[in-house]
């Protein structure tokens, strides 16, 4: 047997894999976030008669089979990896597997084997590296200066994340935490003289991993008033309250004085004007009886009236004249009008008398 045939046989049985790796292309380094799904892929560059493709994980002291795809029997996932590992690209010239919900135990290197006949096995290698990315967290706060805003964005990994802002002139700082993670914070100072609809963005990623972007609208900023403005405002409000109270008090006092003055004038007018006593039945009869009867009604002399009886002012001119005429004229008036009336009636019945 020739030397070339021996080398080919050794490669077919898995020895000296380096002599066949040049025919297989694979991702040398694959980054995956903790808890995500990740893909591993290998391509066989030459067209070969592939019988089976096998995926293995390299562990200390050897390898362990994850899954395989056979030309005649199809796909098979080994016990312990079912539900988490699956062959997605079920082909013989290229193959891909997916590892779901990756954990720290999935970190390491993997190998793909293209078993051909009669050329033997062709291998590829991919290493899975996990990263943790917490964030990014974007914040917009007010600065100590009344004319500035501070924009900050932070993210935590391992490995060390890259954090960038969409605004210029930003600075980054990193802090290593006690659990081994690294927090990177990027800050920038913005002027308040900006469009209120301005949007600030932050991007964070780890190595060549997936980039995560967050955005935030800068709120409308109003300049804070000087320190003495609240004091001045309080004084102005206090003065206004005092003025209003004084005006209300003066108005109330003026109203009370006007009411008292009006009552005083009414009382004074009542004492000056003559009071009208209640009318007795005879006087009331004079005002309610016909004029012809009122003329002949007897009157009671003023000196014989009851001094305690209320006096009623007379509005009839004739009656007023009786009280205002001299006493001598009032004495000559008939004292017995009823008797006189009967005599006049008798004379009318007997004209001869």
For residue 128, what is the DSSP state? E
Q: What is the pLDDT of residues 122-146, one digit of tens each?
A: 999 999 999 889 999 999 888 887 7
Tokens 């290698």 label which residue? 125
Domains and CATH numbers, the chain: 3-131 (2.60.40.10), 134-217 (2.60.40.10), 281-349 (no CATH)
pLDDT at position 229 is 62
Q: Could you tell me how far CA 267 lies from the centroid of its own chain?
A: 66
User: What distance in Å separates the CA atoms of residue 159 and residue 140, rounded to the nearest whole number?
Assistant: 26
Inter-CA distances, 146 with 151, 169, 223, 227, Å: 15, 20, 6, 13
pLDDT at position 264 is 72
Segments of the chain scoring below 50 in pLDDT: 1-19, 294-295, 297, 302, 304-305, 314, 331
3-state secondary structure of 45: coil
3-state secondary structure of 1: coil
Number of continuous H segments (helices) and E segments (strands) in the chain: 7, 17
3-state secondary structure of 6: helix
For residue 302, what is the DSSP state? G
Strands (E), the chain: 24-26, 29-33, 38-44, 50-59, 62-70, 74-77, 85-90, 94-99, 108-116, 120-131, 134-142, 148-157, 162-165, 171-176, 182-191, 199-205, 212-217
Strand partners, 56: 65, 111
Q: What is the pLDDT of residues 189-247, one digit of tens each?
A: 988 765 556 789 999 998 878 899 999 987 665 555 555 567 788 888 888 988 888 89
CB 157 within 8 A of CB 138: no
pLDDT at position 156 is 95
pLDDT at position 172 is 95
Angle (CA) 38-40-42 rounded to 5° is 165
pLDDT at position 14 is 43
pLDDT at position 4 is 35
Q: Exposed, middle or buried: residue 32 (CB in 10 Å: 0-12, 13-18, 19+)?
A: buried
Q: How many CA atoms lie within 13 A of 71 on its CB side?
A: 11
Give the tokens for residue 136.
């990014």
């Amino acid at each position: 047997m020739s030397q070339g045939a021996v080398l080919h046989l050794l490669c077919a049985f898995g020895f000296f894999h380096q002599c066949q790796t040049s025919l297989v292309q694979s991702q040398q380094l694959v980054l995956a976030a903790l808890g995500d799904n990740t893909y591993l892929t290998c391509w066989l560059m030459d067209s070969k008669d592939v019988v089976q493709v096998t995926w293995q994980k390299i562990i200390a002291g050897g390898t362990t089979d994850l899954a395989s795809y056979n030309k005649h029997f199809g796909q098979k996932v080994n016990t312990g990896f079912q539900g988490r590992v699956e062959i997605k690209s079920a082909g013989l010239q290229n193959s891909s597997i997916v590892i779901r919900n990756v954990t720290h135990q999935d970190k390491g290197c993997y190998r793909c084997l293209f078993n051909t006949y009669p050329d033997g096995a062709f291998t590829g290698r991919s290493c899975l590296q996990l990263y943790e990315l917490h964030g990014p967290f974007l914040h917009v706060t007010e600065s100590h200066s009344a004319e500035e805003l501070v924009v900050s964005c932070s993210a935590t990994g391992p490995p060390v994340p890259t954090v960038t802002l969409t605004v210029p002139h930003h600075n980054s700082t990193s802090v290593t935490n006690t659990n081994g993670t690294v927090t990177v914070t990027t800050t920038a100072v913005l002027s308040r003289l900006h469009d209120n609809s301005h949007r600030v963005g932050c991007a964070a990623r780890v190595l060549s991993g997936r980039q995560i972007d967050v955005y935030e609208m800068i709120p409308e900023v109003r300049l804070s008033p000087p320190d003495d403005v609240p004091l001045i405002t309080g004084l102005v409000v206090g003065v206004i309250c005092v003025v209003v109270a004084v005006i209300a008090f003066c108005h109330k006092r003026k109203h009370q004085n006007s009411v008292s003055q009006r009552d005083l004038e009414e009382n004074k007018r009542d004492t000056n004007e003559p009071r009208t006593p209640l009318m007795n039945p005879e006087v009331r009869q004079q005002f309610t009886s016909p004029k012809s009867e009122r003329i002949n009604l007897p009157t009671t002399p003023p000196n014989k009236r009851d001094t305690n009886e209320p006096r009623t002012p007379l509005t009839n001119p004739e009656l007023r004249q009786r009280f205002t005429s001299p006493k001598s004229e009032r004495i000559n008036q008939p004292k017995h009008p009823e008797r006189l009336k009967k005599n006049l009636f008798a004379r009318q019945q007997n004209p001869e008398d």
